[in-house]
Structure 1
Amino acid sequence: MLDPHATLPFAATPHPDAGGAHRLTWDSREAGPEVAFVALPGERMHGNAFVEAALANGAPFVLTDLDVPRALRVPEGQAQQALFAWARQERAKNPLVVGITGSAGKTTAKSYAAAALEAHYMPVFNTMPAIACFLVEFGASPRPLVVEMGIDRVGEMAELVDLVRPDVGVVTSIGPAHLEQLGSVENIAREKGGILQAARGLVGAQAAAYYPPDTYPGVESYGFGAVTHPGQHLQVTPAGAQFRYQGVRVELPLAAPVQAEAAVLGLVLAEQAGLPLEPVARRLAEVSVPAGRYRVHPGRYTVIDDAYNASPLAVKAALDALHAQPGRRISVLGRMLELGPTERALHAEVGAHARQRADLTYGVGAYAAELGERAFPTVPELLEHLLAEVRSGDVVLVKASRGLSWTPERRAQEGVGLDVVVEALLSARGD
């Protein structure tokens, strides 16, 4: 229970009517009788504009600098600093916090690490306010925490590390992403490497190439092949992936190599935490990745929903997994965002890889011609042709960036947010 009248690590005056909450949110739409609201500065509006709505929804207290009912009132302009101070206080009470970053595979790694450790883990959002609210809610739990730590600008990882203070820092992969702000893959490697300041560091097999021993002494690697903690005898079939780790057999239904490597990470973390590996392997077999993260939908034709987000590294990995599938392989690719001045060349590079790994390639929106042999300017035009083409036994991969802040019309025009394509394919399958 979050008690606004308790001793807190910041200056605040609780309103007499302020009550305890089970959760704290930065999104006023989530506020309710058990969920308090923290009013933070935003890119477009300040959270103070939504305080009345949060109170009307029954929020037991509101962390704000306004003089309103049920306020946990802080000095003017101090709400964000207060939230972060509270988060650090609660995080300090937890015995094991794992921070995960990388250019691709963060959410998948988070899911498997959390299952292995039976940990609390971050939901989809991984912004600083979301992480702070998560730490306030779960920091004092005796269960470990797994925190996804994504960045898109220089200096952000240092801020996240200062907030989360991970005991174990993990880098899943390194590749071109968020280049508009980060500038180069070398900058990405350096910035994400800040997470390895933790007491223990781990890097995935692909990322290990960016962290030679003379640069980060003692950083261990995991995955398959020449790594410190290897999974062995990996086999990937349409039914899923299987391998062994320290003699323990691991079977992951409907999984690709990316999920298998994430499972190895989970096993390494569990082993270092002193947990028996057989039960861990059973938990890993039950992991269900969130929608849009290489979720396989078998049926008359198979749909691989990888539409949540995209970077060149992630798209190539998904195409490699598609290539291992039987039947006619179809890739449906949309625009990858935040790639800076090299975006056309990077889209062409990904499109060339698609032509090597798939039997039929579609591109949609901006850079459609670079991404696929069959290119369409908008999503509706793509769907008209795709739904007429797909047939029994096909395997269809759908992947693009999201563009969540864009209007639906712009999303359809630019070829981002292809979850609508996944929905249309599943609906048309009729099984």
Structure 2
Amino acid sequence: MRLTGDEVAIASHGRWVQDKVPSLISGIGTDSREFIAGHAFLALRGVTFDGHQHAAQVADKASALIGDVQGVAGWSALLDTPQLEVHDTLQALGDIAACHRRTLVQSKVIAITGSYGKTTVRSMLQHVLSGLGLEVSSTQENFNNLIGVPKTLMAVPEHADVAIIECGISEVGEMERLSAIVQPDIAIVTGLTCAHGEGLGGELGIAQEKAKLLTHLSPQGWCVLGLGVAEQFAKIDALNTQETVDMHHQYAVTWSLDRQRLTLSYQQQEAEFDLLLPAKHWAEDMALVAQTVLRLAQDLEQSWRLQQIAQLLQSWRPVEGRMHISTAANSFTLIDDSYNANPASMQAALDTLASLPGHRVAIIGDMLELGEQAECIHQQLDLHDIDEVLTVGTLMGSLQAKNPKHRIRVFRDAEALSAWLESKDFPPLGSTLLVKASHGTGLYRIAAQLKERGQHVI
């Protein structure tokens, strides 16, 4: 990011205190612990924190301080550093990011949302496009909310060929704001289910909110809709007028999976390769990514072929906590999918585990933010062909009564399971373990504990 002080003030509707205006702002930080010298410090305010209180720690190395009226009033001892006063710092963060977005005239900006698969599709797409020789800037870790998206966008260099921005929401109104900030050229909606149903008003509310990513799609932009999304958007009259690539359409990339052998097909082209796991949701994501890249080739005047894309997809590896595979030498295999969970991704992970040989163990915890149907949704999970199940949390524990023929052990929380693991010689030799739950359940700590049992190799 390279914006003048005046540009930042105009974008954020702010004013420079004492008319002290920096000539250039090359970045914005919001965490004093990770602050980069030369950037501006923007003080966020929340229910339990106030970034204004930490401005003194970075004032001597900041190009500017950005705060709200109340916060700036307390910075009288820091006037050697230029100070920008705004009405709301979170709003200003997004407005400044949107201003930088308008300078990215050479970049194709791709926004990704959906109830599941966002991070996997994002990492696959980044891997493929980078492998095809493009300069790609992308969301890191889980920076996909009203704070993370602006930070990700401001880090995109003006010479990037493609920027991939992951957009996640949990409350009504957030997606329209993210769309206004990102102003995507390409929008991808992976799929819809009742993730965050509690905050978004059930399945109908989820579809309505996710569709708002298309609100600020560029005039010549286009979108890619995962299986079932077009039908759900049509029900709420949310389909945009720009070009839509529907993965359910007969001319879209299709896939078939025979154990771990994936076949992708597009028009007269076909490509085959082996997946790390017999994961149908990976196959679906890869078809969506291939379709996106083939369509993007038209915009970039490239002649990429399906075989090229497939070769790159074959070398893709999942990110930590997302069906990440590790093996303890001569002991067991761990599939760490502990970062997060919703009904669709949980069932997909269970189906993948069930399709593997040997002794299969599912360590699964509560899926959060599902609303009033949460208990019913948990009880509907299919544990077919899984030999042993360890559940964590009240909601997932209800599976025991619904599946009397399955070997299910119930734990109230991750700490109770951790203590049990410490006292047992577990898991059995040759087992394959799946660890999955919503992040708030804490099962990522169980995955880390299991990884310590022997030397693991990817």
One-letter amino acid matched to 1:75: E
Whole-angstrom CA distance in 2 between matches of 1:72 and 1:4: 13
SS at match of 1:260: helix
RMSD: 2.9
Asked whether the 8 Å contact 1:22–1:35 carries over to 2, the reply is yes
Matching residue of 1:165 = 183
1:113 partner letter: L
**Equivalent residue for 2:174, pick from 142, 156, 159:** 156
Task: Report the counterpart of residue 109 of structure 1 in structure 2.
Answer: 121
Shift of 1:70: 6.3
| 1:47-86 pair list within 5 angstroms | 47-55=51-59, 58-65=61-68, 66=72, 67=75, 68=78, 71-86=81-96
Question: What 5-or-longer segments of structure 2 have no aligned partner?
Answer: 131-135, 401-407
Cα shift at 1:258: 2.4
SS in 2 for 1:263: helix
TM-score (norm 2): 0.80
Distance in 2 (alpha carbons) for counterparts of 1:288 and 1:19? 43
Distance 1:78 1:385, change over 3 A: closer
Aligned: 1:254 with 2:276: yes
**1-side partners of 2:370 and 2:206: how far apart?**
12
* Paired AA for residue 424 in structure 1: Q
Tell me which residue corresponds to 1:265.
288
**Cα 1:394–1:206 shift into 2, 3 Å:** farther
Instruction: Please say if 1:377 is aligned against 2:402.
Output: no
d(CA) in 1 for partners of 2:139 and 2:112? 11
Counterpart for residue 175 of structure 1: 193
**In 2: Cα distance, 1:358 partner to 1:144 partner:** 42
**For this pair of structures, how many residues does the alignment match?**
410
How far apart, CA to CA, are the structure 2 residues paired with 1:43 and 1:141?
38
User: Out of 242, 246, 260, which is 1:221 matched to?
Assistant: 246
Q: In the TM superposition, what whole-angstrom CA distance separates every residue of 1:349-382 from its partner, at most 9, and x where no partner exists? A: 22xx12x241211111223422452112233432
Measure, in 2, the Cα distance between the counterparts of 1:25 and 1:173. 33
**Which residue identity is paired with 2:294?**
E
The amino acid of 2:434's aligned partner reads: L
> Which ranges of structure 1 fall in alignment gaps of 5 or more residues?
404-415
Matched, 1:425 2:425: no
Equivalent residue, structure 2, for 1:42: 46
Matches of 1:142 and 1:361 in 2, distance apart? 46
Instruction: State the shift of 1:301 in Å.
Output: 1.1
The structure-2 alpha-carbon separation of the partners of 1:331 and 1:70, relative to structure 1 and needing over 3 Å to count, comes to farther
Q: CA–CA distance in 1 between the matches of 2:25 and 2:366?
A: 41
Structure 2: how far apart are the matches of 1:426 and 1:344?
Answer: 30
The alignment status of 1:398 with 2:435, answered yes or no, reads yes
User: 1:212: how far off?
Assistant: 4.5
Q: Classify 1:116/1:34 alpha carbon distance in 2 versus 1 (closer, same or farther; 3 Å).
A: farther
The residue type equivalent to 2:447 in the other structure is V
Out of 319, 329, 334, the position equivalent to 1:290 is 319
**TM-score, normalised by the number of residues in structure 1:** 0.85
Looking at CA atoms only, which structure, 1 or 2, has the larger radius of gyration? 2
Alignment correspondent of 2:133: none
Kept in 1, the 8 Å contact 2:253–2:290? The answer is no
> Hey, what does 2:262 align to over in structure 1?
242
Moved more, 71-80 or 87-96: 71-80
Answer whether contact 1:175 1:312 (CA < 8 A) is retained: yes
Distance 2:84 2:173 in 1: 27
Change (3 A) 1:153 1:18: same
Q: Give 1:359's match in structure 2, choosing from 380, 384, 387.
A: 387
- Local SS of the residue matching 1:287: coil
Tell me the residue number matched to 1:337. Answer: 368
Tell me which moved more, 131-140 or 300-309. Answer: 131-140
Is the counterpart of residue 311 in structure 1 residue 333 in structure 2? Answer: no
Q: Give 1:100's match in structure 2, choosing from 106, 112, 115.
A: 112
**Matched residue SS, 2:214:** helix
Q: Secondary structure at the match of 2:170?
A: coil
Counterpart for residue 144 of structure 2: 126
Partner of 1:410: none
